[in-house]
Every structure is written in C-alpha cells, then in structure tokens.
C-alpha cells in the first residue's frame, strides 16, 4: 500500500467541477435507539475533492450520522451509495474497505509509540518476520511531506511529546496512508490554540487539493467558513439545510442550526445568532 | 491545551522535538547530550539513575567488605542474579500490557519440579525432554491464567493471586509425590547437564571466543544498519554514539569474561564463564528482538499505551494478551530450571511469594513502568543485578534477613516513585 505514492496524486481540481457526482450519498437514512429516532430520513451528499462541513446543535445527530457512515452503528433504514454504487456498511471494516477513514476527537493514538509506529499501527510492513522499519519510515516521511506537515522535527519521536495540532496531523496522515477517499474529522480544532488550528485547517485544505473528500464536524463557524466548500446542517435528526457555502453566511448558518429552517430573514434570530456565531 | 501553549506555539514545538528520544532528534553528539539532558530533567531518565545507584551500592559494599569485588564473589553474584533477571524478564511481558502476574514465582517452581523429577533418578529422561516438558508446563499454566483474564475479563491481579496460592499447593503436592517416601518433599538433581546449567563453566578459551564473536556481531550489525539508514536518509543517531555503544559492549564483555576466567577455586582451580550467563544473554537477545522487531512486540507496546487505539487499529487484543501471559510463564519456567540447578534440587518450600516480588522489583527498578507501555527486557537485567548485589552484599556483611528485606523494599519504593513521577511529568504536559 505504501510503495505507491502515499497520497493519491490527482489533479488539484479534478473533483471540484460543477455537477460532479457525489462520492458518498445517503438517502432517507434512519437510525433509531429504542424509541428515539436519532436520524430521520437524512439525505447527505459528500462530493469528491470538497470539504463538507456538518453543522448542528448538540443532539442534532451529527455524531450518530458519522458513526453510521463509518460503520460503528448500522443504519435502520435508507440507502447509501458510494461512487454511484449502492453499498451496505455493516461495520468499521466495511467502511475502511470502501476508503472511509474517521479521525475521532480522541485521535486514538498510542502516546508511547513514535509517529511512524502510530501511522502503521495494525498494518506494519514485515520483511522475513521482522518489522521493515526503513520502508515504513520512508513512506511515513513521504506522506507527511505530501501533507505539508513540516513542524515535527523527527518522525521517530513519541506521539506523547507532540502538540495537539501535530497529533491531529499524525491521525490524519494515518488515515491518508490507508488510501482513504473520504476522511471524516470530528471536531478537529476543538481543543487547539490559534496557531495549531491554522495548521489543521491547512491540512484540511491540503487533503482537498489532493482530491480527497473531507466531512468536517465543527462548532466553530470561523473554521467552517475558512475551509468548507459545502454546508450540511442537521436539526433534531433531519437535514435542515444543505448546499454550497456560497448560499450561506454566518447568520443564515446559525439560523439553520438553531431553528432548523433555512431562510435567515428573521432578524431577531439572526441578531442573537450573529452574536453567538462570533464567539 | 493551555493558553500558554498558544502564545508559545513555536517554543512548544521546539520543546516537543527535544523531549523525544534523543537518538531521534540529534545529529551530533553535542545535540544528543543536550536532548538527553532535557529528557532527564523531564523525568524520562531511562536507565541512568539505576546504573548510578548500582555503582553507589557496589562502592558501599566494597568499602565494607574487601571480598565483595573479588572474582569469585562477582561470579557468584551473576549466578544469584540470573534467577531474578529471568523472573524479571517474565514479568516485563505482562507489565508492558499494564497487567501483573503474581504467580510467576510458583510458575517457575512448577517448571523446575517437572524438569527435575523427569530428568533425575528414577525416571532419568534425557535432559532436553525434561526441560521442554518443564517449560511447557509453566507456559501452559500461564496460558490458562491468560485465558481467564482475557476471555472472562477478570483482573490479572486477582487471577494470578489465585494462581500464587493454587500453584503453591500444586508444588507441595508434586514435590511430595515425586520426591518419594523418604524425599521429605525435596527432589535432588541427578542429571549432570541440568546440574551444570549453573554449576558448569565454559572453558577459558571458549569464553573469550564467544565473547569476541558476540561483540563483533553486535558491532557489525549496528554499523551496517546505521550506514544503510543514513544512505536512505532516515533518522539515525550520531555516529559517535554508535561507536560509544560498541565500545561499552566490548568493555563489558571483556570485563565479564576476565572476571569469570580468574581462578576462583580454593582447593582446585575453578575458572570459566558459567553456562547460565549464556542462557541469560540468549533469552535476553531473543526476547529483545521479539519485543522490538516484530508485530507481536509492537502490539504489546500499543496495548499498554492505549488499548482502545490498538483495538481500533484492528489488533486482536485477546490473542496478544494471551500470548504475553504464556511467554511470561515460559520465561518463568526457564528461571525455575536455573533456580533448581543452582540449588542442586527443588523442594516444596520454594518461596514463590518472595520471588515474584523480586521479579516485579527487578523489572521496575530497571525502568519498566507499572502502568504499561514503557519498558525493555534489558531493564530486568539491570534491575536483577541491583537486587542480586543488595542480596549478595548484605549477605557478605552478615546483615540479618530483616535488614535485607527492608532495604530491598526501600529500593523498590524508590524505583516506583521515579516511575510515577516520570509518568506524571509526561501526562501533565
């Protein structure tokens, strides 16, 4: 998997032409937990080579939706198509076989292992029974430089000694090395400072430029408007609004998040929301 | 993340780079020393304090008893230490997972009683069949305990505590039964090879030749690997460091063989490297490769570091844990055979409770973490030598068992404190 270029090298704008068919789309996706319907008939489109921001208030169903897409929950109804083909995602293995990689908020890294060891965890290259450290180190190095991650001084330092943004970068590089075509990121900037956040946003842009689709969950509208190409807003388990970022501004996005309706002509809401959005 | 980090983002990046393994971040010897000094300040001091402590203990004992540094006593110390070292290596497998095995002392005794009774009169099976059977018995019991821990999700502390009690019972039963009516619960070793594992010596020439070959192999391996990695543009330590390591290995090897080859007999000449030294070095080499260079070893570290991350990476946690407990049992079996060989017999009054404490102490004193994810096989060697030195030196000074226990306890407490402080420093960053 790593003797080929670590990051699929596509022309930068290959996936971004208008009218391109979605990489992933869900139609009428339903997920119930007992009597609670966490997702009711959700239609979501994720386009290749675009950053789709998934917004919604707490409890709107964002986490349930990404867990359903990444196979942690199995959907109770609805259809999922991948590259135009209908697929069923029954478990995390199905999702990663399709090329869906999820970077969770807790990142799932081993602090005691170094960057290379973390990037290859579970998929180590072996030569005559022994770990092939040189090959792994070379492709890890290539992947990181393809992603323009330059702040780490050595890829042989333990992940526990890295900053939050660098850890995020390692987790993303790990996903990219699995030849992911869709990277789902759950609140990647939630715990980061200004410089670290900028680094992660750059990373997201780099992924997009490589033709990889990104589904980004964030509460921070500044971040979302900085990198997203499309917005999808969930409200109480249904898709309240979805479309190119040009159709939204901060006020209308917040309006959709808080009321579940598109529009944004309601000045009261917009006013309150505007304050909230600049937090 | 604190707000200070935002303001000092670059400083943090710099610091983070420096707190990594010094080999990974340094290009010259000067940089290496600086990175290493920073790590020591951050509590990641590695084996330095324990080696300094060992030297201090040796100096104290030598000033109190001039016999301490004699060739005869040092060889004796190596032999005494071999049991602690092997038991410590057994414990490292489970400590790396963040688990513990309290039954290791009696696992060793069970392996010994099987090996001794099979190889000695009246059974007189070949030595190698007896040893394989003994090690298999220990490994199998370790595997059963591992299965209880992984399948039923019981805490390893409790399962192996039950093992400690149950196996002591089994040891008494087997030693009484196989020791015969007049054995009094003791089985004497009558097989020469099993006896010579500890009491036999290499010839003087063989000692030098094996040492030279081992050091040359280590040097060639290190230099070739360094050159290959440097040619490929990969992370590699400063060349002076590699040379220093080779030099230290050569000095240690020459000192070891020179000490063992000095005549230590009183009535007849007795010289040569005891076989047990080769056994310990062999086990050390194989287990070090297993932990450092194979998938299995990598997964042990991953599970100890972050079990959830390992699970999400598709690692079968149960299988790795089960194998680690089995290997701990196997290594304990080796320790047991060596223990019996030193005593010339195995009896029903082995103090497995004390042995397991020495095993944990050896691993932790050497630098293996009780909290999982950090440690190496070499730690058990250094820690085992510390314990053997205390044990041996206090014996020479004629100090009571009471003092010996209390001093060992203090050393163990000091080691655990260093471990806990190091851990707090890394997590509070």
Question: What mean pLDDT do residues A111-115 have?
Answer: 92
Alpha helices in chain A (DSSP H): 62-69, 92-98, 115-119, 133-146, 164-177, 194-209, 221-227, 250-259, 267-277
CB atoms < 10 A from the CB of B260, how many?
22
Question: What mean pLDDT do residues A58-66 have?
Answer: 89
Name the least confident of A78-92, A97-111, B3-17: B3-17
> Pick from A113, A138, A157: which is nearest to B232 by CB?
A138
Residue B286, chain A, CB below 8 Å: the answer is no
Q: Determine whether the interchain pair B19/A157 forms a contact, defined as Cβ–Cβ distance below 8 Å.
A: yes
Question: What mean pLDDT do residues A191-197 have?
Answer: 83
Give the residue from B11, B13, B39 with the most A CB atoms within 10 Å of its CB, the best one to mutate.
Answer: B13
Predicted confidence at residue B32, as pLDDT, reads: 75
Residue B304, chain A, CB below 8 Å: the answer is yes
DSSP state of B189: -
Residues B51-60 have pLDDT tens digits of: 888 899 899 9
Chains A, B: CB contacts within 8 A come to 135
The share of chain B scoring above pLDDT 90, in percent, equals 57
C-alpha A157/C-alpha A114 separation (Å) is 5
Asked if B366 and B344 touch (Cβ cutoff 8 Å), the reply is no
Alpha helices in B2-70 (DSSP H): 3-7, 9-19, 22-25, 29-41, 48-64
Residues A157-182 have pLDDT tens digits of: 889 888 888 888 898 888 888 888 99
Average model confidence (pLDDT) across chain B: 87
Residue A128 has pLDDT above 70, yes or no: yes
- Going by pLDDT thresholds of 50, 70 and 90, the confidence category of residue B5 is very low
Residue A276 has pLDDT above 70, yes or no: no
Residues B132-182 have pLDDT tens digits of: 999 999 999 999 999 999 999 999 999 999 999 999 999 999 999 888 777
> Pick from B20, B293, B373: which is nearest to A156 by CB?
B20
Q: Determine whether the interchain pair B373/A110 forms a contact, defined as Cβ–Cβ distance below 8 Å.
A: yes
Longest dimension (CA), chain A: 69
CB atoms < 10 A from the CB of B331, how many?
31
Question: Chain B closest CA to A73's CA: distance in Å?
Answer: 15
Residue B429 has pLDDT above 60, yes or no: no
Residue A265 has pLDDT above 50, yes or no: no
Predicted confidence at residue A261, as pLDDT, reads: 82
- Going by pLDDT thresholds of 50, 70 and 90, the confidence category of residue B19 is very low
Predicted confidence at residue B426, as pLDDT, reads: 57
CB atoms < 10 A from the CB of B153, how many?
8
Predicted confidence at residue B356, as pLDDT, reads: 93
Cβ-based contacts of B422 with chain A (< 8 Å): none
- Per the listing, tokens 């081993």 go with A110
- Going by pLDDT thresholds of 50, 70 and 90, the confidence category of residue A79 is very high
CB atoms < 10 A from the CB of A115, how many?
30
Residues B36-47 have pLDDT tens digits of: 777 666 555 567
Residues B224-243 have pLDDT tens digits of: 988 888 888 787 878 888 89
Residue A125, chain B, CB below 8 Å: the answer is no
- Going by pLDDT thresholds of 50, 70 and 90, the confidence category of residue B3 is very low
- Going by pLDDT thresholds of 50, 70 and 90, the confidence category of residue B217 is very high
Question: Chain B closest CA to A171's CA: distance in Å?
Answer: 11
C-alpha B139/C-alpha B137 separation (Å) is 6
Q: Determine whether the interchain pair A110/B309 forms a contact, defined as Cβ–Cβ distance below 8 Å.
A: yes
Q: Which residues pair with A214 in a beta bridge?
A: A51, A183
Residue A5 has pLDDT above 60, yes or no: no
Measured between alpha carbons, how far is residue B266 from residues B92, B143, B255, B269 in Å? 38, 46, 22, 7
Nearest residue to A78 (alpha-carbon basis) of A106, A46, A42, A37: A42
Predicted confidence at residue A27, as pLDDT, reads: 93
Give the residue from A193, A200, A202 with the most B CB atoms within 10 Å of its CB, the best one to mutate.
Answer: A193
Predicted confidence at residue A23, as pLDDT, reads: 92
Question: Chain B closest CA to A99's CA: distance in Å?
Answer: 15
Residue B27 has pLDDT above 70, yes or no: no
Residue B98, chain A, CB below 8 Å: the answer is no
Residue B101 has pLDDT above 90, yes or no: yes
Residues B63-85 have pLDDT tens digits of: 988 889 999 999 999 999 999 99
Q: Determine whether the interchain pair B373/A191 forms a contact, defined as Cβ–Cβ distance below 8 Å.
A: no
Residue A35, chain B, CB below 8 Å: the answer is no
Cβ-based contacts of B232 with chain A (< 8 Å): 134, 138
Asked if B79 and B274 touch (Cβ cutoff 8 Å), the reply is yes
């Amino acid at each position: 998997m790593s003797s080929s270029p670590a990051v699929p090298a596509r022309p930068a704008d290959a996936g971004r032409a208008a009218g391109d068919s979605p990489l992933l789309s869900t139609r009428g996706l339903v997920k119930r937990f007992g009597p609670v319907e966490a997702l009711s008939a959700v239609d979501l489109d994720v386009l290749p080579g675009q950053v789709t921001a998934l917004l919604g208030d707490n409890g709107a169903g964002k986490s349930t939706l990404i867990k359903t897409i990444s196979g942690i929950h199995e959907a109770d109804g609805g259809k999922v198509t991948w590259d135009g083909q209908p697929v069923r995602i029954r478990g995390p293995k199905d999702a990663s076989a399709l090329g869906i990689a999820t970077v969770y908020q807790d990142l799932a890294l081993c602090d005691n292992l170094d960057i290379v060891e973390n990037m290859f965890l579970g998929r180590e290259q072996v030569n005559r029974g022994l770990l092939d450290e040189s090959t792994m180190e070379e492709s890890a190095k290539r992947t990181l430089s393809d992603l323009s991650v330059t702040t780490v001084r050595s890829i042989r330092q333990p992940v526990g000694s890295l900053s939050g943004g660098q850890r995020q970068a390692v987790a993303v590089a790990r996903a990219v090395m699995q030849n992911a075509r869709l990277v789902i990121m759950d609140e990647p900037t939630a715990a980061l400072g200004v410089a670290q956040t900028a680094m992660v946003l750059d990373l997201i842009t780099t992924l997009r430029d490589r033709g990889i689709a990104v589904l980004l969950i964030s509460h921070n509208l500044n971040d979302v408007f900085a990198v997203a190409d499309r917005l999808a807003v969930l409200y109480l388990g249904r898709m309240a609004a979805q479309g190119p970022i040009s159709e939204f501004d901060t006020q209308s996005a917040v309006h959709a998040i808080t009321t579940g309706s598109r529009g944004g002509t309601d000045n009261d809401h917009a006013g309150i929301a505007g304050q909230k959005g600049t937090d | 993340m604190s707000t200070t980090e935002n303001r000092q983002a670059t400083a943090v990046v710099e610091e983070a780079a420096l707190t990594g393994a010094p080999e990974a971040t340094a290009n010259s010897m000067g940089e290496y020393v600086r990175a290493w000094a920073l790590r020591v300040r951050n509590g990641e001091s590695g084996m330095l304090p324990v080696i300094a402590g060992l030297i201090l203990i040796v100096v104290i004992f030598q000033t109190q008893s001039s016999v301490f540094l004699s060739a005869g006593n040092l060889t004796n110390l190596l032999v005494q230490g071999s049991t602690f070292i092997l038991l410590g290596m057994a414990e490292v497998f489970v400590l790396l997972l963040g688990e513990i095995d309290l039954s290791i002392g009696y696992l060793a005794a069970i392996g010994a009683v099987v090996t001794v009774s099979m190889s000695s009169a009246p059974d007189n099976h070949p030595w190698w069949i007896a040893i394989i059977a003994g090690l298999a018995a220990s490994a199998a019991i370790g595997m059963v305990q591992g299965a209880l821990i992984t399948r039923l999700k019981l805490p390893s502390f409790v399962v192996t505590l039950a093992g400690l009690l149950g196996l002591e019972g089994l040891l008494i039963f087997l030693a009484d039964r196989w020791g015969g009516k007049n054995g009094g619960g003791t089985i004497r070793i009558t097989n020469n090879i099993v006896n010579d594992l500890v009491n036999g010596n290499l010839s003087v020439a063989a000692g030098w030749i094996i040492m030279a070959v081992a050091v040359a192999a280590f040097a060639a391996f290190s230099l070739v690997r360094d050159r290959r990695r440097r040619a490929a543009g990969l992370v590699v330590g400063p060349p002076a460091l590699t040379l220093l390591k080779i030099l230290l290995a050569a000095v240690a090897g020459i000192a070891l063989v020179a000490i063992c080859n000095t005549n230590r007999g009183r009535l007849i000449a007795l010289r040569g490297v005891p076989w047990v030294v080769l056994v310990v070095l062999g086990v050390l080499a194989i287990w070090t490769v297993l932990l450092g260079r194979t998938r299995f070893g990598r997964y042990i570290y991953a599970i100890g570091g972050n079990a959830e991350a390992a699970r999400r990476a598709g690692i079968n946690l149960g299988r790795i844990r089960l194998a680690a407990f089995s290997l701990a049992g196997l290594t304990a079996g080796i320790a047991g055979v060596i223990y019996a060989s030193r005593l010339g017999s195995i009896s029903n009054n082995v103090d497995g409770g004390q042995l397991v404490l020495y095993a944990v102490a050896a691993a932790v004193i050497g630098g293996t973490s009780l909290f999982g994810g950090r440690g190496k096989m070499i730690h058990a060697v250094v820690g085992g030598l510390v314990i053997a030195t205390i044990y041996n030196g206090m014996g020479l000074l004629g100090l009571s068992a009471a003092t010996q226990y209390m001093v060992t306890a203090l050393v163990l407490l000091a080691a655990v404190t260093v471990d806990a402080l190091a851990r707090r420093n890394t997590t509070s960053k």
